[in-house]
Structure 1
Amino acid sequence: MKKIICSMLLGLMTTMSWASEKVWCVFDPLSTQGDISRRLHDIRLHAQNSQVQLKFKTFKNENEAIHAFDQKECSGLVASNFNTYRYNQFMGSTSGIGLIPNNRTARVFLQLFTNPNVEKRMIGSEYEVVGMIPVGTVYMIMNTQKIQKVSQLKNKTIGILVDNPPQLALAQSVGAKPVYVDFANAIDLFKQKKIDILGAPAYGVLPYNLKKEFGEATQVVNFPLAYFAVNIVIRPQGYPAGFGQNIRTWFVKNSHVLAAQAIQWENQLPAYYWADISAYEKQGYDALVMRIRNRFVASGYYDAYFVELIKRLRCLDEPKYIECRR
């Protein structure tokens, strides 16, 4: 009888431990009023199905959020796909140059989150990725004269992230001058004309009047360089079995809503900011980005399975893309 009672008490204590608060360190440049934080509240409600109560510790500076997670102040991290590469190569590769080309492909990728071949690559012994919030395609934002050719990028200063070898290689391949930036100072450096070109999603510049605050020559080149998303990483040891799959199921069910939000952000950027390039020059950009990307696939920097998966998804959406032609 004592064994039965002890077993019941142990089970109750275990259930109560799962129901206790789990803290996630969240990077949201707009703090708790930002769209990322609002989306996380929906996830928090869904997490209660697993008897997990989520609490968010929000940071406007991404490096501070990552540091707090690394110091185990939080059991979860919500940060950019560029800077969560260290925790999961497969999901970190979502930020790869020339890979996810648009929000449509990102939506289809989200729909595969419970596919066994995809899901097993999101789970590691120490870290597990439970979701990805799409933010949008990364474009070249310029405050210099109109650039219509790859050759015109020579000697221009381009903002790149620290510890991102593909971005450095891409800048060097066109003869540009790389300047290291992070999400905390990139916009200020661009406004101060310390960099000519900044890679960013439309969401990142929506709060600004580009021509008034950055200069009359400011334009957004309508060519995808990479994809910006927010990955959710946890230490699975602190969560009940099946928690990660439960959250990934939420992302599958809400993939259309999440992608539609990213599309809406891009559509909010006024048409007069966009600059199109010719089909001929676009082929040149595509070939250049493809060469750099493939170099880092061969070196093992980008996850090979992810690259092949996205290539298949892209060819379904964009059969005329350079790697899809027969």
Structure 2
Amino acid sequence: MNIIKIALFSLSSAFAIEAFAETKTLCVFDPLGAAGDSYNILKDYAINMKATGIDFDVKPYTDESVAMADFLSKKCDVVAAHDLRIRQYNKFSGTVSALGAVPSYKELNTVLKTLSRKKAAKYLDGDKFSIIGIFPIGAGYLFVNNSELDTVEELAGKRIATLNYQKDAIHMVNYIKSTVIPSDITNFGGKFNNGSVDICYSPAFAFNAYELYHGLKDNGGIIRYPLAQLTIQLLTNTDTFDAATRQKSREIMFSMNEQAMNIVMKHEKSIDEKYWVDLQQSDIDKYQEMFRQNRLELKEKEIYDPTLLTLMRKIRCKNNAKAPECTRADKE
């Protein structure tokens, strides 16, 4: 076969794939809309998915609740939203963001790699809804208006902007005897910036996206300790795609993990070092035990999935076998 024939064959094959591609709508929440990182990652994902015969029409949403409503009313075949919002549709995948469960990006990579494998499909494919992809948007950090608020004890009595649908965060804020200020993704930044709350929590991208430097002012800081690993997850009705396509989607999404993490690190490195507050090891130990106690309680309340909690504990203990939790009688 000469070069011309090869070129013609390749071109005809591309046209054939395009001709038989099935068009689906992917609705993406991104606070910056079509200019945002999540939207652009998912544009790349859509290109990669064409090889499976799926041609996605990718639509940006700046209001997550509207994106979810459109998905539930079947205006979207797939919705991309924060795992905190999607947890009610799949408790297993929603447990990725369990408080303090994944303390490093190395461990997060292991978790997401495990969930992209075929063995995990039975936990991600539900009778009604399925998760067909997960990618990281960064660790959630405490943004405080006073950088001296860096211990568990000092958080007591402080006003914390808390997502009104995030049951685990509400539980934790009550646990440390702080004050829950009900908020959502559209207004938590404004509340922090105008002084209505003392503390909020978010990945590093919010520093610029929500202009949280206004709330930090001269005395504030960002506690360099991950509260949780936040992700964007792709939710679909299980009958929208066959099992093979759902699994291929998860694999394609994980293949883009490095791309997503490069963006996360770019945002973290872009923040002036003067804002970051490092904890003493003794304070880290207190945070870790507090989070562990919260996870155990939230498992009993059926907010967290016990299977994924155990998997994440094994990953933590493989990375740090000497950690006290690894030999506790009440380990996850």
TM-score scaled to structure 2, two decimals? 0.87
> Which residue number in structure 2 is paired with residue 308 of structure 1?
310
> Which residue number in structure 1 is paired with residue 267 of structure 2?
265
> Which residue number in structure 1 is paired with residue 10 of structure 2?
none
Measured in 2, the distance between the counterparts of 1:265 and 1:277 equals: 21
Alignment of 1:1-326 (within 5 A): 19-207=21-209, 210-212=212-214, 214-324=216-326
State the 1:280 CA deviation.
Answer: 1.0
% identical aligned pairs: 22
Size of the alignment, in residue pairs?
Answer: 312
Measured in 2, the distance between the counterparts of 1:116 and 1:98 equals: 26
Measured in 2, the distance between the counterparts of 1:236 and 1:16 equals: 24
> What SS is found at the alignment partner of 1:242?
helix
CA contact (8 A) 1:220 1:275 kept: yes
Distance 1:311 1:260, change over 3 A: farther
Higher mean displacement: 194-203 or 117-126: 117-126
Question: C-alpha offsets along residues 275-299 of structure 1, whole Å, 9 cap, x if unaligned?
Answer: 1121111111111111111111123
Question: C-alpha offsets along residues 148-186 of structure 1, whole Å, 9 cap, x if unaligned?
Answer: 322111210011111322211211121111111111111
CA contact (8 A) 1:158 1:176 kept: yes
Measured in 2, the distance between the counterparts of 1:36 and 1:196 equals: 28
Question: C-alpha offsets along residues 107-155 of structure 1, whole Å, 9 cap, x if unaligned?
Answer: 1122223434322101011111111120111111001351232211121
Higher mean displacement: 121-130 or 261-270: 261-270
Question: Which runs of structure 1 show a deviation greater than 6 angstroms over 4 or more consecutive aligned residues?
Answer: 15-18
Measured in 1, the distance between the counterparts of 2:155 and 2:270 equals: 27
CA contact (8 A) 1:219 1:275 kept: yes
Measured in 1, the distance between the counterparts of 2:246 and 2:204 equals: 30
Distance 1:165 1:240, change over 3 A: closer
Higher mean displacement: 187-196 or 236-245: 236-245
Measured in 2, the distance between the counterparts of 1:265 and 1:322 equals: 33
Question: What is the alpha-carbon root mean square deviation over aligned residues?
Answer: 2.1
CA contact (8 A) 2:144 2:216 kept: no
Higher mean displacement: 261-270 or 68-77: 261-270
Question: C-alpha offsets along residues 231-259 of structure 1, whole Å, 9 cap, x if unaligned?
Answer: 01111322345111111121333333333
CA contact (8 A) 1:283 1:322 kept: no
Question: C-alpha offsets along residues 292-325 of structure 1, whole Å, 9 cap, x if unaligned?
Answer: 1111112322111110111111223344544236
CA contact (8 A) 2:159 2:179 kept: yes
Measured in 2, the distance between the counterparts of 1:98 and 1:307 equals: 11
> What SS is found at the alignment partner of 2:89?
coil
Question: C-alpha offsets along residues 34-66 of structure 1, whole Å, 9 cap, x if unaligned?
Answer: 111111111111211121110122111111111
TM-score scaled to structure 1, two decimals? 0.89
Unaligned stretches of 5+ in structure 2?
A: 1-16
State the 1:97 CA deviation.
Answer: 0.9
Higher mean displacement: 122-131 or 243-252: 243-252
Higher mean displacement: 185-194 or 230-239: 230-239
> What SS is found at the alignment partner of 1:40?
helix
Higher mean displacement: 295-304 or 262-271: 262-271
> Which residue number in structure 1 is paired with residue 8 of structure 2?
none
Distance 1:285 1:114, change over 3 A: closer
> What SS is found at the alignment partner of 2:325?
coil
Measured in 2, the distance between the counterparts of 1:299 and 1:263 equals: 34
Measured in 2, the distance between the counterparts of 1:37 and 1:110 equals: 20
